[in-house]
Amino acid sequence: MTAFSAPIAEQIWDMKYRFKDADGTPIDETVEDTWRRIASALAAVEKVPADWEAKFYDALADFKYLPAGRITAGAGTARSVTLFNCFVMGTVPDSMGGIFDMLKEAALTMQQGGGIGYDFSTIRPKGASVTGVAADASGPLSFMDVWDAMCRTIMSAGSRRGAMMATMRCDHPDVEEFITAKSDAARLRMFNMSVLITDPFMDAVKADKPWDLVFGGQTYKTVRARDLWDAIMQSTYDYAEPGVIFIDRINQMNNLSYCETIAATNPCGEQPLPPYGACLLGSINMARLVSDPFEDAATLDEAQLIELVATAVRMMDNVVDASRFPLEAQAREAAAKRRIGLGVTGLADALLMVGLRYGSEEAARQTDRWMHAIARAAYLASVDLAKEKGAFPLFDADKFLASGAMQTMDEDVRDAIAKHGIRNALLTSIAPTGTISLYAGNVSSGIEPVFAYAYKRKVLQKDGSRTEEEVVDYAVQLWRELKGDTPLPDYFVNAQTLAPLDHVRMQAAAQKWIDSSISKTINCPADISFDDFKEVYMAAWDQGCKGCTTYRPNDVTGSVLSVSEDAAPAETPQVVQTDDEGAEVVYMSEPLDRPSELEGATYKLKWPDSEHAIYITINDLVIAGHRRPFEVFINSKNMEHFAWTVALTRMISAVFRRGGDVSFVVEELKAVFDPRGGAWMQGKYVPSILAAIGGVIEKHMVATGFLAGEGMGLKTDPKADVVSLQNGPKGKSCGSCGSYELRMIEGCMTCGSCGYSKCG
């Protein structure tokens, strides 16, 4: 017997959440061991752990309460990882030194597995003067490119790349460039992007008024508000980004509006956070709480729901004390406010079980009632914790109760807070829950509709092959078990058949009782008109949502879902799904095992002006007669190279051992530019020593047949231009860019192409 209802659920547990030792030997023998590990770790914070461990375990059992992946994977393992999911970094200073200090902090946070958000509105616009440098600013987008490159090198939680959210205010002078940045298919791939929309801007859009783009009190440009809004809509219509965040509404409704200002969110948008803000996530599995499913008496057990919410709040509050933090500023912020983000998953399945069509007015009313019950239970549980352990340090009863969100809270809850305080400043949030929903038996994700009744998901195996496994929605599988071959009722709808405005209705119904925000994607048909598409966003604004994200499949964005051409029953279409980040493959495999012997080659790389050569050894794994790179060793007698060559060795080898298409390593290395200047090597200008190493790896891949040729198999070919030194222009070439544009300026030989000068 197993607790898992589907093979893919057990595979996800084994790959992502199961505790194993350094050599991969499981420590968690069963998922019950995982639940026991989490319960023990979170109960350890209590004065009498034994009083709570069993209760925590019971909440986790049968997947009723689902802590977010960071907690499930990290709690009780003694690993140096954060249990928090969401971070917004500090305010980015408008200075070169400050910007790169922020970059370092971002790298440290992502290294421990946190997704991060940044507001780039604080960086002066492109073309603005830079005091004391006699130069013009390059603008926030140029620094976002630097962040993007950094993120590409960080593997979040060891198996998925880091995630980032970039925001920019709708009145920033560079917002037009920000809006269209992702029209370049190779740019800012590591970012989700959203525009911060203010109330005055929406008023200007509706009244068709002019709109000033300003920075530092200076107006750089005046545009028509409706034109800027249409530009956002057009980019989102074409490229699925940027999203829209109604930032004034977020700040007005924030329980902590008296002591913080929010300008950014975590990568999926459900957690608007202040500078250095951090939040952890967890979800109540609504699909496990319905009694008599699909019967006339079907109902959600609200008594069990309230008890489960209270336990979950206590567990999450304990995480604040049990977790490590990448930065001390994040630890201080979390301790001062004790934010938690309790949400739901399986909502659509629960609605189906009680006979309601997702998106209908009745389903929206039921969602409102359920979310209200959860909010009440969460706030009252936090009041009880305040009685026992004290309110959060920055609690101010009068100011807290005067916030926008608390104005609609039940009077008895307000009275309890006024009398006893509250332990957690904010309590509710709805995350996307894509992976943990699969782990829990493929319940519907978050508050999303059922994705599809049945689909096939691609899984990458250790040997590089791909297999397909059918995954059936939890509610559909339960219907089959209870009703046999009886056709699904008409109220069964999924994400592909639902009208966009029905999505908005459900998001708005849930948002009323969520004090943070909601991760929700509104699926739009490919043939939706542009005017109807814009109406989705205006409806989200009019109905009180805090943001809006849509997805319209097209030639640029691709399709989230593709139905196979094989005939299938109408109620169970066969489909292929992407993962949460949009990748086609779900990486379920562990790193490839290392045989005792490998085939390989060693290459000597002599960088000009360097005393010692670098030796690069690349070993290959042979699978089905084909060689693929497995590990790299980079050595040099130059001790200045020691740290970065070891780091590069470990990073590249770790990527190679994951399998799949690893040619992007070449692409990334060859694109690295050294601001101190590159070098000419064998008739080619190589922009950095890292680019030279990338060239060596590419040469090896071509020689072994892994790549068909130089620059082939890559998204873009970053290889340097070849210049014939024999037949090229006469004269000396620039030592930085290689062009023949050197001229004497003010006594210094200066390159007219790149500006390089040995005089400085």
Q: What is the DSSP letter of 746?
A: T
AA identity, residue 582? G
**Alpha carbon 620 to chain centroid, angstroms:** 32
Q: Give yes or no for a contact between 396 and 380, defined as CB atoms under 8 angstroms apart.
A: no
User: CB atoms < 10 A from the CB of 363, how many?
Assistant: 25
Give the Å distances, CA to CA, from 213 to 175, 202, 500. 8, 15, 32
* Terminal C-alpha separation, the chain: 73
Q: Residue 69: name the closest of 151, 12, 31 by CA.
A: 12
Nearest to 756 by CA among 654, 651, 669, 678: 678
Q: E strand or H helix at 220, and its extent?
A: strand 218-224
User: SS3 string of 651-691?
Assistant: HHHHHHHCCCCCCHHHHHHHCCCCCCCCEEECCEEECCHHH
Centre a 10 Å sphere on the Cβ of residue 393 and count the other Cβ atoms it contains: 11
Within 359-471, where are the H helices? Answer: 361-389, 397-401, 411-420, 434-439
Q: How far from 80 is each of 108, 112, 326, CA to CA, in Å?
A: 12, 7, 9
Q: Which amino acid is at 716?
A: T
Structural tokens at position 28: 């968690």
247, 254 Cβ separation under 8 angstroms: no
C-alpha 461/C-alpha 587 separation (Å) is: 8
User: Which residue matches tokens 């332990």?
Assistant: 423
Query: What is the identity of the amino acid at 104?
Result: K
Cα torsion 44, 45, 46, 50 to 10°: value is -10
- Separation in Å, CA 367 to CA 363, 372, 443: 6, 8, 17
Please state, in angstroms and rounded to a whole number, the distance separating the CA atoms of residues 561 and 334.
38
Q: What is the DSSP string of 130-193?
A: ETTTTEE---HHHHHHHHHHHHHT-EETTTEE--EEEEEETTSTTHHHHHHGGGSTTS-TTEEE
* Cβ count within 10 A of residue 407: 10
Pairs from 532-538 (Cβ < 8 Å, separation ≥ 24): 532/500, 533/233, 533/236, 533/237, 533/500, 534/230, 534/233, 535/501, 536/500, 536/501, 536/503, 536/504, 537/233, 537/244
The residue to which tokens 């060693």 are assigned? 602
Distance of CA 737 to the CA centre of its chain: 37
If residue 102 lies in a helix (H) or strand (E), which one and from where to where?
helix 96-111
The sign of the torsion formed by the CA atoms of 57, 58, 61, 63 equals negative
In Å, the largest CA–CA distance within the chain is 91
Give the whole-angstrom CA distance, residue 460 versus residue 686. Answer: 35
Task: Tell me how far CA of residue 254 lies from CA of 263, 284, 400, 403, 427, in angstroms.
Answer: 12, 23, 9, 6, 11
Distance between CA atoms of 174 and 126, rounded to whole angstroms?
Answer: 7
How far apart CA 328 and CA 491 sit, in angstroms, is 50
User: Which sequence positions are flagged as catalytic?
Assistant: 266, 268, 270
Residue 302 neighbours by CB distance under 10 Å: 14
Buried b (16+ CB within 10 A) or exposed e, 214-234: bbeeeebeebebbebbebbbb
Identity (one letter) of the amino acid at 726? Q
